[in-house]
Amino acid sequence: MLVGGGQVALRKATLLVRARAQVKVISHQILPELAELVEQNNGEAIIGEYQAQMLDNVDLVIAATDNLSLNEQVHSDAVARHIPVNVVDKPDLCSFIFPAIVDRSPLVIGVSSGGESPVLSRLMRAKLET
């Protein structure tokens, strides 16, 4: 499940879809390209309010909103259900992280600071890409 419907959510959904995940997005507003990506890959886009019970039968959750209290609620609900959770740009609220990825298929490189410095990881990814 992906909570959030903006550009950050779109980036995360793109990674998840490439990994063949079935993505469910919930948000008050969802970018049209995010809704299309999810629906084309057997996922679901739900416009509405996040509710804890939406995590039932979910394998992992990503909170990608600009609402800190909502992100914290998603984290709390996921932890209570023992579901891996990633709150974007909040390593202290993550049980897993996404590395910065350079994809020049067939070569794929992941750059990670273990959540300690996501900005440095992104800068290193940009340097590798050039």
pLDDT digits (tens, 9 = 90+) for 65-107: 999 999 999 999 999 999 999 999 898 999 998 888 888 888 8
Domain containing 113 — which CATH number?
3.30.160.110
The answer to whether residues 55 and 104 belong to one domain is no
Kindly state whether residues 104 and 89 are assigned to the same domain: no
CATH number, position 30 = 3.40.50.720
In this structure, are 84 and 121 located in the same domain? no
Whole-model pTM: value is 0.87
Nearest to 88 by CA among 17, 21, 13: 13
Distance in angstroms (rounded) separating the CA atoms of residues 121 and 48? 33
Instruction: Please check the confidence at residue 63 and state whether its pLDDT lies above 90.
Output: yes
Query: Is 51 strand, coil or helix?
Result: coil
pLDDT at 91: 87
Same domain? 45 vs 19:
yes
Is the Cβ–Cβ distance between 83 and 58 less than 8 Å?
A: yes
Residues 75 and 120 in one domain: no
Please give the structure tokens belonging to residue 67.
């609402």
Q: Are residues 87 and 121 in the same domain?
A: no
What b/e sequence results for 92-125 when a residue is b if at least 16 CB atoms lie within 10 Å of its CB, and e otherwise?
Answer: ebbeeebebebeeeeeeeebbbebeebeebeebb
Q: Are residues 67 and 22 in the same domain?
A: yes
Instruction: Decide which of 23 and 91 is more confident.
Output: 23
Total domain count, the chain: 2
The span from the CA of 6 to the CA of 23, in Å, is: 15
Using a 10 angstrom Cβ sphere, with 0-12 exposed, 13-18 middle and 19 or more buried, the burial of residue 61 is buried
Q: pLDDT value at position 20? A: 92
User: pLDDT higher for 49 or 109?
Assistant: 49
Domain around 81: 2-93
